[in-house]
Amino acid sequence: MPAARLVVDFWVKPGRFNDVIEAAKMLKKIGDRLGAHVRASRVRVGDPTHIYVVAEWADIAAWAKGQSDPELVALVEGIRNNANPPYETITVTMLEDIPL
């Protein structure tokens, strides 16, 4: 089975970089426990207001197992329902490797 990656693109509000990084750290902690490799990246060429958080699992089945985890569900709901979010928008994309 090919690897699966969940890519979360945070368009960060001015002055809120550290708030997004704190959320990414919480995602990493949960992802590590669920068997994912989680990392964050900032844009160096292009629009610098974006932070990408990428969680990689062995395959889609491994990703699906963790989606009902109570701690993950609570964190995602908190990010979605934040009355004063540190981001303008969030774009979430699920990628699956294509063997070449």
Q: Which two tokens stand for residue 68?
A: 């009902």
Expressed as residue numbers, the domain containing 9 is 4-92
Residue 44 forms part of a structural domain = yes
Q: Of 99 and 89, which is predicted with more confidence?
A: 89
Q: Does residue 97 fall inside a structural domain?
A: no
The confidence score (pLDDT) of residue 29 equals 95
28 within a domain of the structure (yes/no):
yes
Q: Is residue 46 part of a domain?
A: yes
**What are the beta bridge partners of residue 38?**
55
Place of tokens 């994912």: 36
Amino acid at 26: M
Q: In this predicted structure, what is the pLDDT of residue 53?
A: 95
- Smallest CA-to-CA distance from 5 within 72, 71, 53 is with 53
Q: Are 84 and 30 contacting, i.e. CB atoms less than 8 angstroms apart? A: no
> What mean pLDDT do residues 74-82 have?
90
pLDDT one-digit tens code per residue, 14-37: 999 999 999 999 999 999 999 999
With 0-12 / 13-18 / 19 or more C-beta atoms within 10 angstroms meaning exposed / middle / buried, residue 30 is: buried
Q: Which CATH number belongs to the domain containing residue 56 in this structure?
A: 3.30.70.100
Q: Is residue 63 part of a domain?
A: yes
pLDDT attached to residue 93: 94
Q: Is residue 100 part of a domain?
A: no
Domain for residue 22, yes or no? yes
Q: Output the six-digit token pair for 41.
A: 């990246």
- Whole-model pTM over 0.95: no
d(CA 31, CA 19): 18
Q: Is residue 98 part of a domain?
A: no
Rounded distance, CA 95 to CA 88, Å?
Answer: 23
**Structural domain count of the chain:** 1
